[in-house]
Amino acid sequence: MAYTDKIRGIYAEILTGLKDAGLFKQERYIHSAQAADIEVEFPSGAPLKKVINICANNYLGLSSHPEVVKAAHAGLDSHGYGMSSVRFICGTQDIHRKLEQMVTKFLGTEDTILFPSCMDANAGVFEAVLTKDDVMISDRLVHASIVDGIRLCSAMHDTFKHSDMEHLESKLQLHNDKRLKMVITDGVFSMDGDTAKLDKMVELCEKYDALLFIDDSHSSGFIGKTGRGTHEQYGVMGKIDIITTTFGKGLGGASGGCVSGRKELVEMCRQKARPYLFSNTIAPPVVAGVIKVLEILSASTDRRDKLEKNTEFWRKGLIDAGLIIKEGNTPIVPVMLFNAKLSQDVSRDLYDEGIYAIGFFFPVVPQGQARIRTQISAGHEIHHLEKALDAFKKVGKKYEILGKTKQEIIERYGM
Amino acid sequence: MEEMKDVIKDYVIKEYVEDDTEITYDTPLISGGIVDSFSMVSLKRFLENKYKISIPDDKATPEAFDSVNKIIALVKEYVKY
């Protein structure tokens, strides 16, 4: 079919609608490597501006770490640029299996399978291990990639209220007649920065013979005493049946993900998971880089310890400044503004002050819960955080939100 | 059938409403964004267990579950008195 003016008009109208609704996403071009200090071109064509980045998933500051970069170079030299194949045809190198074994050891599981991304891992895992005789019971705030994976699976699906263990138990009772029950949650919830109550969830899963799945993408490498993830923090290592995670955040920040867990479930993914079967293997330099990341993190907890200290400093600084943040102890720290336009205005003004942070509003977060999501990194030094706090104070003063309650902010700016 | 109306309305409020949204017998539940289509399954299972009925999957549509009154109509089709 020809791409007629009529067809073009249909899409133009949709895109205009997104712009009118304030939902149109615009990319900002970064001209430097990912780090605490970056150079940004925004809007397109504008002169480069040096800003402090407080919205990356670069939790451990490893995205541009010299040892990781060097390892990726070496992997490129020794194993090539790409494999031009999916894993099971001719796309599995020794380093792919080595990385799987290292992840297994790092997370304390039985086996691991790599995927091109954690989005792919979540898209493929449920369909691979569950059937229409089973039920998936997920927290209502799980990540969009899990929602997509659930949609692709023939098992029945139900939800429980966010982190509500009583409600989860009622759902386990309701579906107790199913062949298999799988409870599904994020380890750290990406928008609020809170953690799943894994100790309680393990108890419930043991009581009702249910499998437990967690996506630890916003945890792996830094949550728990040695950075193994939320299962370490809650003392339930070895008791999670499936962990999915990404290498695109704390673990180096490039790309790739995995399913790690019970060996039979991992083998089911190797046999049946469609994103594994029909998508290219992870590129060799990325694999080599992640191997180096795991070596660094297994040798020392310095980076996660620094991240923890930075996070404490940042959370205290925001509270002392009179801003409202979501409680928790993870490096995801949402500054609550409640009103969508206010979140965009504050984000723009922070950028003018040299601080790069993005406003989130409905439908990414619930109506009336607009916010600036800040994310702290071990790559930040205290002077970065102090400068960012000063900017928040200046902008907060301009909008007269410092020391104000949620109700007062909503009364002034609306939901 | 007043009792069934209230049983279903109370269940919907307890199960799905997490703020002070007011629910009437005609409030649009699914098209109004109160019940997402994923969560419909627990409502169907609740009705089947409570009233000892079996609602065929092709009848458990978002339209049929879109208000308490519509749910009552659906359940009535399958309840044996």
Residues from chain B contacting residue A140 (CB–CB below 8 Å): 39
Check residue B81 and give its pLDDT: 66
Chain B closest-CA separation from residue A185 CA (Å): 15
CATH T-level topology, domain A66-299: Aspartate Aminotransferase; domain 2 (3.40.640)
Residues forming beta bridges with residue A142, ordered by sequence position? none
- Where in the sequence numbering do the catalytic residues of A fall? 190, 218, 249
Considering only alpha carbons, which residue of chain A is nearest residue B49? A174
Hey, are the CB atoms on B36 and A159 less than 8 Å from each other?
yes
Check residue A84 and give its pLDDT: 97
What's the gap between Cα A409 and its chain centre? 29
DSSP state, residue B56: -
Hey, are the CB atoms on B42 and A150 less than 8 Å from each other?
no
CB pairs under 8 A between A and B: 23
Q: How far apart are CA B73 and CA B2, in angstroms?
A: 13
Q: Find, among A321, A289, A316, the residue nearest to A403 by Cα.
A: A321
Q: Which residues contact A33 (CB under 8 A, 6 or more apart)?
A: A63, A64
Angle between helices A198-207 and A165-174 (to 10 degrees): 20
Amino acid at A175: H
Chain A closest-CA separation from residue B9 CA (Å): 18
More confident residue, B34 or A356: A356
**∠ Cα A242 A244 A250 (to 5°):** 140
Query: Is the pLDDT reported for residue B38 higher than 80?
Result: no
Check residue A415 and give its pLDDT: 80
Enter the CATH code of domain A31-60+302-413: 3.90.1150.10
Residues from chain A contacting residue B39 (CB–CB below 8 Å): 140, 158-159
Check residue A90 and give its pLDDT: 97
Chain A closest-CA separation from residue B76 CA (Å): 22
List the single best residue of B45, B48, B57 to mutate versus A (max A Cβ within 10 A): B45
Contact A350, A15 (CB under 8 A): no
| Positions in chain A short of pLDDT 50 | none
For B18, the closest of A150, A161, A171 (CB atoms) is A161
Hey, are the CB atoms on B39 and A175 less than 8 Å from each other?
no
Torsion of CA A324, A326, A332, A335, to 10 degrees: -20
Strand order of the sheet with strand A370-375? A332-338, A370-375, A358-360
Q: Give the C-alpha distances (Å, rounded to integers) separating A302 from A60, A263, A268, A310, A378.
A: 10, 31, 37, 12, 9
Q: How far apart are CA A73 and CA A90, in angstroms?
A: 22
- The mean predicted confidence, pLDDT, of chain B is 86
Check residue B36 and give its pLDDT: 80
Residues from chain B contacting residue A161 (CB–CB below 8 Å): 18
Q: What are phi and psi of A328, to 5 degrees?
A: 155, -175
Q: Give the C-alpha distances (Å, rounded to integers) separating A75 from A68, A78, A99, A106, A190.
A: 10, 5, 13, 21, 31
Contact A329, A314 (CB under 8 A): no
Query: Is the pLDDT reported for residue B2 higher than 60?
Result: no
Length of chain A: 415
Check residue B20 and give its pLDDT: 74
Hey, are the CB atoms on A171 and B42 less than 8 Å from each other?
yes
Residues from chain A contacting residue B36 (CB–CB below 8 Å): 159
Using a CB–CB cut-off of 8 Å, the residues of A that contact B are 138, 140, 147, 150, 156-159, 161, 171, 174-175
Check residue A290 and give its pLDDT: 98
Three-state secondary-structure class, residue B17:
coil
Confidence of residue B1 (pLDDT cuts 50, 70, 90): low
DSSP state, residue B59: G
Give all domains of chain B, ordered by start, each with its CATH number: 2-78 (1.10.1200.10)
Check residue A76 and give its pLDDT: 98
Hey, are the CB atoms on B42 and A157 less than 8 Å from each other?
no
Could you report how far apart the first and last alpha carbons of chain A are, in Å?
Answer: 45
Check residue A81 and give its pLDDT: 98
Contact B33, B62 (CB under 8 A): no
Hey, are the CB atoms on A150 and B46 less than 8 Å from each other?
no
For A159, the closest of B39, B45, B46 (CB atoms) is B39
Q: Find, among A276, A271, A251, the residue nearest to A120 by Cα.
A: A276
Q: How far apart are CA B43 and CA B51, in angstroms?
A: 12
Considering only alpha carbons, which residue of chain A is nearest residue B16? A161
Considering only alpha carbons, which residue of chain B is nearest residue A166? B15
Hey, are the CB atoms on B39 and A150 less than 8 Å from each other?
no
SS (H, E, C) chain A: CCCCHHHHHHHHHHHHHHHHCCCCCCCCEECCCCCCEEEEECCCCCCCEEEEECCCCCCCCCCCCHHHHHHHHHHHHHHCCCCCCEHHHHHCCHHHHHHHHHHHHHHCCCEEEEECCHHHHHHHHHHHHCCCCCEEEEECCCCHHHHHHHHCCCCEEEEECCCCHHHHHHHHHHCCCCCCEEEEEECECCCCCCECCHHHHHHHHHHCCCEEEEECCCCCCCCCCCCCCHHHHCCCCCCCCEEEEECCCCCCCCCCEEEEECHHHHHHHHHHCHHHHCCECCCHHHHHHHHHHHHHHHHCCHHHHHHHHHHHHHHHHHHHCCCCECCCCCCEEEEEEECHHHHHHHHHHHHHCCEECEEECCCCCCCCCEEEEEECCCCCCHHHHHHHHHHHHHHHHHCCCCCCCHHHHHHHHCC
Contact A228, A207 (CB under 8 A): no
For B41, the closest of A140, A147, A158 (CB atoms) is A158
Domain ranges of chain A: 31-60+302-413, 66-299
Q: What are phi and psi of A345, to 5 degrees?
A: -65, -45
Chain B closest-CA separation from residue A408 CA (Å): 19
